[in-house]
A and B are shown apart, each in its own frame.
Chain A
């Protein structure tokens, strides 16, 4: 590829690729050579591949922050930003010093307050900050540590580094960094091998070590959880990723409760004591017992447990204070006072308007500055003065004059530029860098890499990691050769080193149950779609395919294909259907469609991945990645679809077989199996209902089709040869207790499973869900006459209809009751003050 070597930087910026004289910077030269061996067309393909992998891995930002509901996919540019080992080493020292400073500041501001007492820090910077929460005063340092620090960096036009923001509450971006590297190492493994790039894994090994150190004095095997704000927060992907990567389960505040001076995780069997909480929620109002303006999902009593040194919360809540820009102007003095060192990397020039001198300066240079709220995490809101109208400027100045302490002003910065691969061309982009430091003994280790966000047009880019058009990886070139192990393998193995020994959390049980249900639903849908496809292919052109019409209607009524096909008269003539069918099945707009089901199985699978074997993950990924073939010819549509469905059905068998074979008996399996049996009984019920509506007593073909999609054709043949009749067919798939594909079998299994469920506060025998299962079971058993009377179709059908009618609402009810009994362990806590008026008179 020539284009990289030919890349010319725009004037007026510092360029990461070429120096002022136009020479390619030394750290890049080898990389340029390696990329030079690649063809443009290859790079384009790999770019596509990488971004597809990202998409398939579900790497995205839930767009809450951008005021939209949709998710934004994370995009990656394969061209990295490259640093030499010495360059990065120098920067690392500055970043690690910064982390130490932030840690020391957090301790000082919530402890001795020497900075303020000695006049280094104006009182209002501390006391006017709404994040200065008095309840955090003197929390024990070792139980409220700074584990992870994020540093937002930019280079000014002369190449000097500036810190744009400190991130010490719950720094975002760390998982995206790893994900980028994992994807690049797949897409550009050759390039990476030849370039001696430092790995990211050591950073995470250090993190795990530190986490273990946090509580090593008390236990050799601490119980660690990752506290997330859940799927509604924009960076949920990160929490899940980190969980998989580090091997700790993700929990939400509702999953935790304080009992007997310990933080406990609500699991199915019991409350499990937690030693370390890795906090990923930016919300500092975590304890509704003590803090105002709390978010509804908090952990009541948490602060007192920390004070009593019974749990470690990392990052501690104190450090969020340091995310706000008001403190930045005072960092050089603070560094001298607290660390006895000079600040190595300066902050972006910042003026706090609460002081006279700085305020005058801000007024005099108003046009050149960016105004931000002093006490919000920087990046959440800002005004670029030069982009405001005259009136807006006057209004802003008024607001500042009224409450100057609430504002800071910062210099505008022109970020450095570097080459980007955009639509098969190499173009320039402005770069925002973020890297991370993790606590290591007394100091901090800095990641040998990081995250770059790119914006092609010049001008300010907000600090949130969701800002920018796409992302890049940072490559730090090692002096020494990096062993030719693939990065991917090494990193994939890391999380297996440490496993928590936690019982099944209620949330995981919930996910397993639904995984079971969706696997079964997917399998059933696959068999039905395949059957319809087969029939459309096999018969001669004009013959109707009435025997599969109930299947089409069933699929439509479940929303797997467009639901208008659920109407009896709507189904088009065969020739039309042949053309339509592949489109109907492949319609990705159909939310609950076949491919939607597949995605849901994958999603649920990824949520329980930490309790499953690697093979489980492999078969699930295989299923997910079975490509949707692009139809080349309209005529071959159906046969291609059949081929694909055959693979898909096989994959789903492989998945369920792997799960059922690979899982040890225990609650994990119980909940998954319950989900499967419940869904299978539901699917059988729905299909049988459809067929009973249309099949006459003498029709043979529909019976064969029915047996086939219910997986019982071979069993039937082995019993009755080719003698197909309604009664024995229905008996086999409804009332034959020996057939694993009969409805009655599902209920027998569920009854047996329920007796093995962990006891809840209600005795399982009398639990209402067990009751419902037993009732249905009894009704099913009563369909067949007790004595040796001859069984006749008519009475059989009458009782069967009644049973089937009851079954649908009951299955729904059982699912609901299971949720109540097992998945929501305890209600949420409420502040009493919300409901009372305790005013002082």
Chain B
């Protein structure tokens, strides 16, 4: 599937901001199943200085500084991405989940590029919550000897039953423990909660940020700008399968409806737009995401 994506972040301030700096993580990653043929991030006003680097996790970060200040800042990220469907042959032929657990004994056998698995099984800044209730909840799905994909399928099913999408229930500062207790929230909350659950078992789990294709109601045209940036979870499932992405908000294994932008231990590693200003009085923040499937463009 091919997509043309436009992600616009707009800040309006009540007073002039005299200096602004941003660090943004908006460039889609290139992976075995995803190619990014075009990506451009354009701020308005024009940045005094732009810079770019690859971070610790391999994500692309763009830096902008605005030394002449602004009243309104728009960061427009445009990209064209091709995603190959990721199909999982049969769920029950995957390895049993216990073989994937990071134990002190296995750590020393890991090397090179595999080392990232280790830190993905540990606490991270937003996920430092360990509780018997988490363990009790996850153990129901992770039965001894069960193939990992079946376990994940089960936990997705239970998320669907137990958790409600509610954009008013949480804020950026709501801790995982509270989301887990309330069983309400948005994709970021569900992703963090699922990561916390899987890390209780010491399974390597990453936080993934990106976009998801939305389907308009039957017979109606797709509305522009109504898509949102999205987040889900990636779990290491053995040498053969590698990292398998699951979406606890939409309760599915990820295929070609999702476009991956970045991954890290949790949201704090890969916030899409970070910034500092000298000034005050933010008036409004508006984010719009538009994800055009190519076949629609062709029409």
User: Does B241 touch A at the CB level, under 8 Å?
Assistant: no
- By a CB distance below 8 angstroms, the chain A residues around B278 are 826-830
Q: A123-B107, A127-B118, A135-B56 given as contacts; is B172 within 8 A of A838 (CB)? A: yes
A21 vs B35: C-alpha distance when bound (angstroms):
79
Interface of B is mostly: mixed
Whether A128 pairs with B277 at a CB distance below 8 angstroms is: no
A259 engages B67 (CB within 8 Å): yes
| Distance in angstroms between the alpha carbons of A245 and B63 in the assembled complex | 38
Chain B minimum-CB-distance residue to A828: B278
Contact with A along B91-109 (1 / 0, CB 8 A): 0000000000010100110
Check A830/B107 contact, CB under 8 A, given A289-B23, A292-B125, A840-B267: no
Q: Please state if A832 and B104 are interface contacts (CB–CB under 8 Å).
A: no
Known contacts A289-B21, A289-B23, A403-B130, A260 near B48 by CB under 8 Å: yes
B37 at interface by CB-CB < 8 Å: no
Number of interface residues of A (CB under 8 A): 49
**Complex Cα gap A300–B21 (Å):** 8
Asked if A721 lies at the interface with its beta carbon under 8 angstroms from chain B, I say no
B51: A residues at CB distance < 8 A: 261, 304, 308
Q: Is B112 an interface residue (CB 8 A)?
A: yes
Q: Is B159 in the interface zone, CB < 8 Å from A?
A: no
A644 shortest CB reach to chain B, Å: 50
Interchain CA distance A260-B68 in the complex, whole Å? 11
Q: Does B123 make an interface contact (CB < 8 A)?
A: yes
Q: When the two chains form their complex, are residues B188 and A840 in contact, meaning their CB atoms are under 8 A apart? A: yes
Residues of B within 8 A of A308 (CB): 51
Task: Give the shortest distance, in Å, between A568 (CB) and chain B (any CB).
Answer: 48
Q: Which residue of B lies closest to A305 (CB)?
A: B51
Chain A min CB distance to B259 (Å): 14
Q: How far is the CB of B101 from chain A (nearest CB, A)?
A: 14
Chain A contacts of B172 at CB under 8 A?
Answer: 833, 837-839
Distance of B126 from chain A, by nearest CB (Å): 9
B48, A838: Cβ atoms closer than 8 Å? no
Question: CB-CB < 8 A to A354: which residues of B?
Answer: 104
Among A1-9, A113-121, A217-225, A226-234, the stretch in contact with B: A113-121
- Is B285 positioned at the interface, with any CB of A under 8 Å from its CB? yes
Select B115's contact among A116, A122, A304, A833, beta carbons within 8 Å: A116
Contact B57 A122 (CB under 8 A): no
What 1/0 flags go to A295-332 for Cβ under 8 Å of B?
Answer: 00000110010011000000000000000000000000
Within 8 Å of chain B (Cβ to Cβ): is A725? no
Contact partners of A130 in chain B: CB under 8 A: 125
Residues from chain A with a CB closer than 8 A to the CB of B102 are 123
State which of B140-148, B226-234, B291-299 sits at the interface with chain A. B226-234
Residues of B within 8 A of A301 (CB): 21, 63, 65
- Interface membership of A489, Cβ < 8 A: no
- Give the interface residue-count category, chain B: 35 or more
A272 CB, min distance to chain B CBs, angstroms: 16
Q: CB < 8 Å: which of B67, B119, B276 contacts A289?
A: B276
- The answer to the question of B18 belonging to the interface, with a C-beta cut-off of 8 Å to chain A, is yes
Q: Contact: A289 with B274, CB < 8 Å? A: yes
Give bound CA distance, A828 to B276, whole Å: 10
Contact of B275 among A127, A135, A289, A355 (CB under 8 A): A289
Pairwise interchain contact A826-B274, C-beta atoms closer than 8 A? no
Residue numbers in B under 8 Å from A127 (CB-CB): 118-119, 122
Residues of chain B within 8 A of A828, CB atoms compared: 278
A290 at the interface (CB under 8 A from B): yes
Flag whether A664 is at the interface (Cβ < 8 A): no
| Residues in chain A near residue B171, CB distance under 8 A | 837, 839
B282 contacts the other chain (CB 8 A): yes
Interface membership of chain A positions 807-841, coded 1 if the CB is closer than 8 angstroms to chain B and 0 otherwise:
00000000000000000001111111101111111
Least distance between A257 CB and chain B CB atoms (Å): 8
**Nearest chain B CB to A190's CB is how many angstroms away?**
57
Does B49 sit within 8 A of A, measured CB to CB?
yes
Q: Which residues of A contact B67 (CB under 8 A)?
A: 259-260
Q: Does A258 contact B (CB under 8 A)?
A: yes
In the complex, the answer to whether A835 meets B282 with C-beta atoms within 8 Å is: yes
Q: Which residues of A contact B271 (CB under 8 A)?
A: 833, 838
Closest to B52 in A: A304
Closest 5 CB pairs of A and B: A119-B108, A134-B56, A127-B119, A832-B275, A841-B228
Pull 28 A–B residue pairs with CB atoms less than 8 Å apart, ordered by A. A117-B111, A117-B112, A122-B104, A123-B107, A123-B119, A127-B119, A134-B269, A135-B55, A137-B55, A137-B56, A259-B67, A261-B49, A293-B125, A300-B276, A301-B65, A304-B51, A304-B53, A304-B63, A402-B130, A826-B278, A829-B278, A830-B276, A830-B278, A833-B172, A833-B271, A833-B275, A835-B282, A840-B231
A-B contact sample (8 more), CB < 8 A, given A123-B107, A830-B278: A117-B111, A127-B122, A130-B125, A300-B21, A304-B63, A832-B277, A839-B172, A840-B267
